[in-house]
Amino acid sequence: MKSSQGKLKTKGISLLVAAGVAAGASLVAAVPATAAGPCGTGYTYIGSHPITVPTYSKDYRYGKPGTKTGSIDVYWNSTARKNCSVAYAYGPTYGIKMYRQNMIGNYPSYGPDDVSSGYYSYYAGPVYTNTQTAGGQCITLDASFGPNATDKSSWGAAFYSPVHC
């Protein structure tokens, strides 16, 4: 047989659980169903490509050649017919303020459609392609991390072309 104190404890826990469920339901309802990602509303994640210390690097403070120092995440918006990319820092370069560059373009092109460059700690971008005449056009991705814009010692580099056709 339960004591009255045990019944009150059980009833109190039930009320706390019910209140928590009700509060949680209201929090879930407050988040829009089409929340914007790093590129904005309507962009869908389609892939990721590694950024690594290149073989030509002479500065190994963030790893030897082949060490992953970031990734280029790629998104697609079928309504706008545009791709978007964000170059994220990873592992040894995460949180370190350094020169970062992220470029994207429709393939084949003679230059990037959009560039983000500067001294960032976590990512460069987002950057966007020009509108594609038809969906599924290939793109070119180019990203790098390093001490500055002119120094040839890179702590991370990536070039992918043509991709996401």
Say whether both 122 and 62 belong to one domain.
yes
Say whether both 19 and 74 belong to one domain.
no
How does pLDDT run across 57-108, given as a tens digit for each residue?
Answer: 888 888 999 999 999 999 999 999 999 999 999 998 999 999 999 999 999 8
The reported pLDDT for the residue numbered 95 is 95
Cα dihedral value 58, 61, 64, 66, nearest 10: -100
Report the predicted TM-score, pTM, of the whole model to 2 decimal places. Answer: 0.76
Name the CA radius of gyration of the chain, rounded.
Answer: 23
Say whether both 51 and 84 belong to one domain.
yes
Say whether both 25 and 53 belong to one domain.
no
| pLDDT of 16 above 80 | no
- Look at 9 and 49; give whichever has higher pLDDT: 49
In a domain, 39, yes or no: no
Say whether both 83 and 134 belong to one domain.
yes
How does pLDDT run across 35-45, given as a tens digit for each residue?
Answer: 689 999 999 99
Q: How many angstroms separate the Cα of 84 from the Cα of each of 28, 46, 122, 132?
A: 28, 10, 17, 12
Say whether both 26 and 59 belong to one domain.
no
- Domain assignment of residue 101, given as a range: 44-163
Q: How many angstroms separate the Cα of 36 from the Cα of each of 40, 50, 73, 99, 160?
A: 5, 24, 15, 27, 26
| Extended beta strands in the chain, E state | 44-52, 68-77, 82-89, 98-106, 114-120, 123-128, 139-146, 156-163
Say whether both 78 and 106 belong to one domain.
yes
Q: What is the 3-state secondary structure (H, E, C) of 111-124?
A: CCCEEEEEEECCEE
d(CA 125, CA 45): 15
